[in-house]
Structure 1
Amino acid sequence: MELHIVIDGERDLAGQVYRQIKEGIQSGRLAAGEQVPPSRLLAQQLGVSRKTVSDAYARLTMDKLLVGQIGAGTFVNSALPLPPISRRLAAKDLAAGATLNDWLGRSIPLPPPRPERRSAYDFLGGAAKSHFPLTEWRQCVLHGLRKSHAARGFYAEPEGLPVLREAIARHAAFARGVQCGPVDVLVTNGAQQAIDLIARVLLAPGSTVAIEDPGYPPARMTFASQGANVVCIPVDEEGMLVEQIPDGTCLIYVTPAHQFPLGMPMSVARRKALLKRASELGAIIIEDDYDSEFRYEGRPTDSLQSMDSEGLVAFVGTFSKVMLPELRIGYLIAPSAIREAVTVAKHLCDWHAPTMMQWALAKFIDDGYLQKHIRRCHTLYASRRENLLSRLTGDLAPWLQPVPATAGFHLTALTTRKIDLALLLRLARRVDVGLYTIDMFYHALPPTPGLLFGYGAIETLDIDPALDRVKAILTEIA
């Protein structure tokens, strides 16, 4: 990479090099500790003699702006003070200030805690990374690298590589009974982008969207950012109260397999009522199927999409929960009515997902590694869930009652008596236990007091010690 220096004319060449490097250091453009090019290389790049550059470097060294390290090269002096911060325009001073202030007023939903603030025993949601088949995944990534290297160097299809779309269609049909073919699949950067793309093509300022309350904050905030009128619909033990979806609604967001965050599945009767109401409204339903690959009891339930005979359900899935949170590959099974529009929106948004990871994931699915990983994690999560439930229905029952849930890798427990949850969280943090309330998932309704226990990331042997500490705190503060 070339150091940006502009030579003007033929006079005072060393002075020009000296002044521009000095200005770059003093302004912070050249960071402390950064290596500058060897004098011979920089002279070739600038079309000047090596002596010109050497003279400039010598002056900068005398000024203690550069330091030479024998055998390593020449570097910006790391002992220099930080450059002063120049005054910049604030958002309110810009022509788009009102719009910017609207965004500045929105907080980041569900921000991950900093690593230094994570507790030793943490019930934050997440996947079991320590059990991920890293050797097999490495083989798939190398395969993706070879495939990408062999490509002709053009951009790929916005809807995703055909080989991955075929693999996703087979997986969704096999695991969730989704009715689809490769043509229906759009590969996205996580489930969040799939939700965003649907919002882009269906919503205008003032459009009405119905969502669950409590529900998934990033979805609600995405719809609100499009200027939509977001109507929060309460849920009961069977799911969203469909009869409260208002007239004029054009988009409905639900998590029927494992309601987020409470956890109960939507009943078959309620699903049929939801499809009927959507048909009356001409509304698209987003079925966010975020973690239902893991089911522990009862008979399998159909996906909402598989019950849809009119093409109203957009099925959204992700591999971040099943595999790795950092993978950021999701997918949308789009109804034919919106398929072309969301493909155009995807193209305009980021053109396509990284092809190397698409090749890798396709091989991971086709070679059977994904199903093996799901089976392995199912056994692991089932054991953790059983352990957690035995404690919540046992010695912790005087304070907490779990909400019945048949899938996923988190449980919600509602309080059975008045508890100062803020105090509980603070005291738990002091003994290195991370607890989380469900308050943040409510928007229009008053929150029901309760805790969310994610058991995907916490180790099995850590659950009992963590809950022992929670019980001791509950006994003390109650």
Structure 2
Amino acid sequence: MAISVDTFFLNPDAQGTLQAQIQQMIAEGILSGRFHRGEKLPSSRKLASHLGVSRITVTLAYTELLANDYLTSRGRSGYFVSDNAPVPPSYAPAGRGTDRVDWPRAISKRFTGGDTPEKPRDWHRYRHPFIYGQADPTLFDHANWRLCALRALGQKEFASLTADYYDQDDPLLIEFIARHTLPRRGITARPEEILITMGAQNALWLAAQILLDPGRTAAIEDPCYHALRDVLVQSGCRLAPIRVDADGLPPDALPGKTDVIFTTPSHQAPTTATMPLARRRALLDRAQALDALIVEDDYEFELSFLAAPSPALKSLDRDGRVIYVGSFSKSLFPGLRLGYMVGSEPFIREARALRASVLRHPPGHIQRTAAYFLSLGHYDAQIRRMSRALHDRRAALEAAVAQNGLTIAGRGVYGGSSVWMRAPEGTDTAALADSLRGEGVLIEPGAPFFAGPARPTEFYRLGYSSIPSPRIAEGIARIAARISDPAPQEG
């Protein structure tokens, strides 16, 4: 790899001859790790022209570095960083001076300090990754996704690849969602009522920004998706956490001044409870009585491998008060970051304008690739393949849990990709998770999902989308053993 000539600059305040400055500049680049062994330096002619010095000055600097074994010469090929150069093991950028900004005073709003935990990036290296929301490469249709991406990048698709849609979206993707995806949930919508988002979380953020302010109240499930709670806290609204039961959010518990209700009726996050049809109707009646809006996050409805899912809350809505949020990130792969929201046209108009002011629109070629993958039937084929695998993994997990005497606190009636677990009273599942990592087991502690200071510590979530069935029993056995004996095992 060649080192770009544009990375070289002479410091106008530097001391010493030009030859010494060039020599020092190259040596510092090697010592700091910016220049790696074997990388080719610019030719003396090119570097001299770039720096505005004579060629002999650069040649003398190179010759001195060659003598000190920082550089090596390869015949007519030029100069390269020597294999014997004292290159540090990792690149640590040189300091640029003292940061004199008073950041605590300069920052007017804070977005750090929320509950969203960090998941290990090397989760795939663990033998028993009971981690939620990650894609299993053995289940993903790489070949057809690649073909769809190549088609989207083709010359005939130049407009969709390069155009600035401004506040609009790919018409092919919108058409597929309107004609195929939404009808499966009992929802009908016009293109003006659909907006593509950067995943479900982006849709929830847009809804919070438009519907909430410090004078309004948002009701959230407790426990709930912790990133949603972070978003709502940042909006400055009043929060009303409602403890869920075996059927999800109880409508009668909603306070009298609720403005917006956030709910996950198909698979409550994280307990996976499924809201029965009667309660869905009761929730709509309660929202109507409160004159409140409902934001329905309908994640994982496609992964209903045990039975057909209940109709979406939005499909039962006759007042236009439900805003529906869906995502392809969970069913395809999380890095896709592609979702959608459906609502009344006045709301979508505002959401479209807000999105345009922040990121314009999700990349056009990603939208077009997804549109092809969906419309050519590859998506449905993948969902069927995933559903079969998840069905087998769910059966293996439940059998192992029963055999080891563990307790399931919540499981999706129709399927899904995780179960909500409860350890014995007094168990700290955060400490449990830390100790299990050394045994190659990943679990998610449950405390961050709860609101308030006195959070239960005995809950945890087990995802099974990323772990093969043959490894499940051993992983569950290790969890059970560590719960019964928290002391680290020797040997």
- Same fold by TM-score, threshold 0.5 exceeded? yes
1:272–1:222 Cα change, 3 Å: same
Matched with 2:336 is 327
1:246 matches 2:255 = yes
Which of 145, 170, 176 in structure 1 is aligned with 2:185?
A: 176
- Listed as ranges, the matches of 1:288-327 within 5 Å are 288-327=297-336
1:112 matches 2:115 = no
Alpha carbons 2:192, 2:345 under 8 Å: kept: no
Alpha carbons 2:19, 2:60 under 8 Å: kept: no
1:424–1:31 Cα change, 3 Å: closer
Matched with 1:3 is 6
Other structure's SS at 2:444 match: coil
1:166 matches 2:179 = no
Q: CA RMSD in A?
A: 3.5
Matched with 1:186 is 195
TM-superposed CA distance for 1:83, in Å, is: 6.4
Greater shift in the superposed pair: 261-270 or 166-175? 166-175
- Listed as ranges, the matches of 1:79-94 within 5 Å are 79=86, 85-89=95-99, 92-93=102-103
- Listed as ranges, the matches of 1:449-468 within 5 Å are 449-468=458-477
- Listed as ranges, the matches of 1:69-468 within 5 Å are 71=77, 73-75=79-81, 79=86, 85-89=95-99, 92-93=102-103, 95-97=105-107, 99=109, 102-104=110-112, 106-107=113-114, 109-115=116-122, 119-125=126-132, 126-146=134-154, 150-151=158-159, 153-392=162-401, 394-397=402-405, 399-406=406-413, 407-415=415-423, 419=427, 421=429, 424-444=432-452, 446-447=455-456, 449-468=458-477
Superposition TM-score, scaled by structure 2 size: 0.84
1:38 matches 2:43 = yes
TM-superposed CA distance for 1:418, in Å, is: 5.9
Greater shift in the superposed pair: 344-353 or 44-53? 44-53
Greater shift in the superposed pair: 46-55 or 143-152? 46-55
Greater shift in the superposed pair: 374-383 or 199-208? 199-208
TM-superposed CA distance for 1:312, in Å, is: 1.6
Aligned mates of 2:455, 2:265 — CA distance in 1: 22
Aligned mates of 2:427, 2:478 — CA distance in 1: 16
1:75–1:206 Cα change, 3 Å: farther
Greater shift in the superposed pair: 59-68 or 407-416? 59-68
Q: How many residues in Structure 1 have an aligned counterpart in Structure 2?
A: 470
Aligned mates of 1:403, 1:302 — CA distance in 2: 21
1:72–1:62 Cα change, 3 Å: closer
Alpha carbons 2:130, 2:442 under 8 Å: kept: yes
Alpha carbons 1:32, 1:78 under 8 Å: kept: no
1:85–1:64 Cα change, 3 Å: farther
TM-superposed CA distance for 1:202, in Å, is: 2.1
1:439–1:54 Cα change, 3 Å: same
Unaligned segments of structure 1, at least 5 residues:
none
Superposition TM-score, scaled by structure 1 size: 0.86
CA deviations 1:70-94 (Å, max 9, x no partner) are: 6464449962676653554377446
1:344–1:16 Cα change, 3 Å: farther
Unaligned segments of structure 2, at least 5 residues:
none
Alpha carbons 1:191, 1:330 under 8 Å: kept: yes
Aligned mates of 2:122, 2:11 — CA distance in 1: 49
Aligned residues with identical type, % of pairs: 29
TM-superposed CA distance for 1:196, in Å, is: 1.3
1:175–1:83 Cα change, 3 Å: closer
